[in-house]
Structure 1
Amino acid sequence: MESLMVEIAKTIWWILVIGVLGLGIRVYGKVMAEQWRVRRKLTMQGVKGPPPSLFGGNVPEMQKIQSQTKHYSGDNIIAHDYTSSLFPYLDHWRKQYGRVYTYSTGVKQHLYMNHPELVKELNQANTLNLGKVSYVTKRLKSILGRGVITSNGPHWAHQRRIIAPEFFLDKVKVMVGLVVESAMPMLSKWEEQVKRGEGETACDVRVDEDLRAVSADVISRACFGSSFAKGKEIFSKLRCLQKAITHNNILFSLNGFTDVLFGTKKHGNGKIEELEKHVESLIWETVKERERECVGDNKKDLMQLILEGAMSSCDGSLEDKTQSYKNFVVDNCKSIYFAGHETSAVAVSWCLMLLALNPSWQTRIRDEVFRFCKNGIPDADSLSNLKTVTMVIQETLRLYPPAAFVSREALADTKLGSLVVPKGVCIWTLIPTLHRDPEIWGADANEFKPERFSEGVSKACKHPQSFVPFGLGTRLCLGKNFGMMELKVLVSLIVSRFSFTLSPTYQHSPVFRMLVEPQHGVVIRVLRQ
């Protein structure tokens, strides 16, 4: 009798296993059939691409190309096309199939789109049917949440209406003095380092970490009414999260069987979940403290606007409202904390690296700053006169844009020019490749020539819509005005006080960690003016 029960249990077990496998294969087969249908729609419109394998799509080929790619080890830093090292498969297929092609990562079909006319169409597409890539936003949820950067549709539009006005030009101009104030301790620190050189004419300074601290202080005070010292642990944990998440390939790893059955999971391990909970707890503590401070305060900063927006967006039961309120606030704070300071710090780091290699442009900036800014300190009125500073920053953002991609997912069949992009297709525009295309920028596309922007972006290249360091279209970076102001102020302050060259210890190695940043930091040899 006992043996019979065991046999029955085994039989039931195998029926369940076979049933689950059968269901999984059926679901996966249906998804794969849809991907082949989507691919066929694209190929019928003349879009070619590498043939995918049955289960892995083009991921095995991507991994093979990546493994065969050699790391950069040359002296011509500026001309280094780092995309061929970071994303060699995209570069390989572009040379084979042109500026528009399709490829697969298992159950996801992608469209590489670096043709200037199609980029223009993407820029002009005023629709909610082009959203952020869903599987990537899920993988980045721990660091960005479902805030204004990653959300789609009406939820995104609602958040944008709340946050965007805080970054309008009139508001940004008021913050110039705040940036100057935040930068002064860093400048004093560097001056002390030079003085301690004991007879040496210059000293080496690693600038990227100091710039992160300054940028974090700026975003904390400008948007959340607190200093970097108060939010230091938040920024530290966000940086740890950033490194942990990007340890694996978050963009183009295999989307396969488990993703279909269980959804896209966060890449990493328990460490990511632990860091995420810690960050959210720290932010929520800051929020509650800010709520107490704001009682009877008529002056509204971004934090207060987010709190009010969260209240208006919540519905349902009291418990649901409380959780929805908390999620709305924490997610948007995470997005702004990360994007608001990390991108600026990386951009200024690359700018100083390029200026260290081009001392003549340091002189031109210095002359301009002292001509228009009292004591070399920019203010809201003088900032618009700093044309040389603007040109240098624009050229930096062309050669080394912190954001590597403009990415969109077609949430419905969407027409871009003569091309119909099927629902579910992920669109990728590789910004550095677009910014270094000789057919767009000329034969000197890989050279540092800020003068190309002397008459503005519209005259800088053949297709002005191909300059997209802040993204494009309806999803253009909300902090563009704020970011440009901060970059101008920081570059002006640094160059007016120091002259510098690139330190012999500097190792040029751009790396992709959600942003394209210097893997080993930027080390410059500083001389006090």
Structure 2
Amino acid sequence: MVEVVLSNNNVTFSLVCILAIALIWKAFKWVWLTPKMLERRLIKQGFRGHSYRILFGDTKDIAQMVKRTTSKPMECFSNDFIPRIFPFHHQIMKTYGERSFLWNGPTPIVSITKPEEIREIMMKIYDFPKTATPLMKRLTNGLVRLEGHKWARERKLLNPAFHMDKIKHMVPAFHASCNEMIQEWEKMTSETGSSEVEMWSYLHNLSADAISRAAFGSSFEQGRRVFELLREHTSITVQAMHSVYIPGSRFLPTTTNKREEKIINEMESLLKGMIQRRQKAMDDGEVAKDDLLGLLLKSNLEGTQEHQHDGNNMQQHFKMGMEEIIEECKMFYIAGQDTTSSLLVWTLVLLSKHQSWQDQARKEILTTFGHHTPHVDGLNQLKTVNMILHEVLRLYTPVFSLNRKVIHETRVGDMVLPAGIQIHLPSIFIHHSEKLWGSDAKEFNPNRFSQGLLKATIGGNMCFFAFGWGPRICIGSNFAMMEAKMALAMILQRFYLELSPSYAHAPTIGCGTLRPQFGAKLILHRI
């Protein structure tokens, strides 16, 4: 009997030892063997970077440099702000050239800066999926986060809602939101004719209000509440991203986690209620509304009916469920709000700095609309305004870089990228390249777009990636541009803008977009 017990104990001990050795070996591979193997393969192909430092890589240096460069505003107004927002990347590329890499912990990140290679990677969406952290997935698991077949299916269902012929029906929603903001500004300037305004907060709220109206129509007041909750949820997520992430920590009963759960429950309850009411109305024969939610539900229904017509029994694979529709509603806010507010705030800042372009834009707007409400046809004919917006998107790209992961060894150009590395596509570096855009690449010059995107660069090499490229190009680009044109037209019809003496130029990275770190104080003068 004793021998049997001892034998069992020996077996158990042996299994524990084997498991421990396996875990140690796996950890050793993760923190040392695999990184060193990937480093050797990259160096063999001509890539250069810092030698791998166990576990942390370059992450501490990156954080310290960003903290230092963003501790105060820029000394003077300049569009050459890359060393401020990407100091480590800038230094690495300056030291080692275009073929360089850095370390995100034990993972090497290769920077790709040739436009033709960036386009190739963006076209191969199944070879190079997006990188998504567990923290970001907590905000939304909508289209911007999906991959593979599920992404293709939902993109197909969402596309109709973002066609130009549908977006034109949302222009009254953009006008209503802009009008509320401008009426407030007119009250502020009623006595003296001018007033200093912190633009970022107003434009941030404008974008949220416009999304609420365009997405939910008559239910936009509830949409505003969804935005408030999502903004708080985003703040919690950003704070978590700035601390060490511990797997499973979100399940701990902390005050923050409890508040986050409460936010999610209220937000999803509001969205679910709006969706169910719309679905019931459509089931009762009511025509789908022309807001984003109505168009999404209509497209979802038509996709299902078309599938039934094809005689295929796997209907569930073509119809979005309640949870998926809720995630796409969140995506409307996250993908659209910060992008548009970033575009608008930098447009107003640059027009305040470059008065001649502000005058040209206003002249075109007044020639087209007078002091009447801007309309879709006129907005589409604003050539100067369009040039200005494209130049702002080039210099102050809202989504300044994209990251992809390599899931299997893949050739791009003359490179063979090994599985396990990540790819950094720094569109802001491309947009500021003198080799591609000319010696004035860092200057505000909308004239470069006078003959369209293709002829804006040297040699006609397409390298404008403000909305991405390829199959995953931003689905809401037309939406963002139409909203921006409406807002700019209405503002310049009524106000003349100049930089406030207290304006501090400090582009920075926040919630995934480029924004003014210390706000954007401009002086509004009534016309």
TM-score (norm. length: structure 2): 0.85
- CA gap of 1:226–1:16, structure 2 versus 1, over 3 A, is farther
Q: Per-residue CA shift, 1:262-307, capped at 9, x if unaligned?
A: 79999x9525454444433333233234334444222255324544
Indicate yes or no: 2:121 matched with 1:129.
Answer: no
Mean CA deviation greater in 14-23 or 401-410 = 14-23
Aligned partner of residue 457 in structure 1, secondary structure: coil
Q: Per-residue CA shift, 1:131-159, capped at 9, x if unaligned?
A: 1113x3x221122x221001111111111
Matches of residues 219-258 of structure 1 in structure 2 within 5 Å?
Answer: 219-247=211-239, 249=241
Two-structure CA RMSD over aligned residues (Å) = 3.3
Aligned partner of residue 366 in structure 1, secondary structure: helix
Which residue number in structure 1 is paired with residue 329 of structure 2?
333
Indicate yes or no: 2:416 matched with 1:420.
Answer: yes
Structure 1 residue 339: Cα displacement? 1.3
What amino acid maps onto 1:38 in structure 2?
Answer: L
Structure 2: any 5+ residue segments left out of the alignment?
A: 1-9, 305-315
- CA gap of 1:166–1:306, structure 2 versus 1, over 3 A, is closer
Which residue number in structure 1 is paired with residue 182 of structure 2?
187
Indicate yes or no: 2:104 matched with 1:105.
Answer: yes
Separation in 1, partners of 2:405, 2:442: 30
Separation in 1, partners of 2:15, 2:262: 34
Residue of 210, 213, 218 corresponding to 1:218: 210
Indicate yes or no: 2:135 matched with 1:139.
Answer: yes
Separation in 1, partners of 2:11, 2:523: 72
Structure 1 residue 502: Cα displacement? 1.3
Residue pair 2:288, 2:298 contacting (<8 A) in 1 also: no
Separation in 2, partners of 1:17, 1:348: 60
Indicate yes or no: 2:392 matched with 1:393.
Answer: no
Which residue number in structure 2 is paired with residue 360 of structure 1?
356
Structure 1 residue 409: Cα displacement? 1.8
Aligned partner of residue 321 in structure 2, secondary structure: helix
Mean CA deviation greater in 67-76 or 516-525 = 67-76
Residue pair 2:125, 2:472 contacting (<8 A) in 1 also: no
Structure 1 residue 254: Cα displacement? 7.8
Structure 1 residue 23: Cα displacement? 4.2
Structure 1 residue 343: Cα displacement? 1.3
Residue pair 1:283, 1:330 contacting (<8 A) in 2 also: yes
Indicate yes or no: 2:451 matched with 1:455.
Answer: yes
Q: Per-residue CA shift, 1:452-506, capped at 9, x if unaligned?
A: 1111111212264321111122211001111111111111111121001112232
- CA gap of 1:387–1:408, structure 2 versus 1, over 3 A, is same
Which residue number in structure 1 is paired with residue 312 of structure 2?
none
Residue pair 2:496, 2:525 contacting (<8 A) in 1 also: yes
- CA gap of 1:99–1:202, structure 2 versus 1, over 3 A, is same
Identity of matched residues, %? 29
Matches of residues 10-409 of structure 1 in structure 2 within 5 Å?
Answer: 22-32=21-31, 33-69=33-69, 71-81=71-81, 83-123=82-122, 125-134=123-132, 136=133, 138-143=134-139, 145-195=140-190, 197=191, 200-247=192-239, 249=241, 270=257, 271-294=259-282, 295-301=284-290, 302-304=292-294, 306-307=296-297, 325-409=321-405
- CA gap of 1:167–1:307, structure 2 versus 1, over 3 A, is closer
Residue pair 2:212, 2:221 contacting (<8 A) in 1 also: no
Which residue number in structure 2 is paired with residue 8 of structure 1?
none
Aligned partner of residue 239 in structure 2, secondary structure: coil
Which residue number in structure 2 is paired with residue 495 of structure 1?
492
- CA gap of 1:420–1:206, structure 2 versus 1, over 3 A, is same
Separation in 1, partners of 2:404, 2:452: 27
Separation in 1, partners of 2:474, 2:277: 29
Tell me the number of residue pairs that the alignment of Structure 1 and Structure 2 aligns: 499
Separation in 1, partners of 2:489, 2:49: 46
What amino acid maps onto 2:524 in structure 1?
Answer: V
- CA gap of 1:303–1:384, structure 2 versus 1, over 3 A, is closer
Structure 1: any 5+ residue segments left out of the alignment?
A: 1-10, 314-319
- CA gap of 1:46–1:190, structure 2 versus 1, over 3 A, is same
Aligned partner of residue 56 in structure 2, secondary structure: coil
- CA gap of 1:373–1:31, structure 2 versus 1, over 3 A, is same
What amino acid maps onto 1:110 in structure 2?
Answer: I
- CA gap of 1:437–1:247, structure 2 versus 1, over 3 A, is farther
Residue pair 1:397, 1:469 contacting (<8 A) in 2 also: yes
Separation in 2, partners of 1:149, 1:372: 36
What amino acid maps onto 2:55 in structure 1?
Answer: F
TM-score (norm. length: structure 1): 0.85
Structure 1 residue 406: Cα displacement? 1.8
Q: Per-residue CA shift, 1:237-260, capped at 9, x if unaligned?
A: 22222233223557xx889xx66x
Which residue number in structure 1 is paired with residue 503 of structure 2?
506
- CA gap of 1:263–1:272, structure 2 versus 1, over 3 A, is closer
What amino acid maps onto 1:62 in structure 2?
Answer: I
Residue pair 1:72, 1:85 contacting (<8 A) in 2 also: no
Which residue number in structure 2 is paired with residue 528 of structure 1?
526
What amino acid maps onto 1:520 in structure 2?
Answer: F
- CA gap of 1:433–1:497, structure 2 versus 1, over 3 A, is same
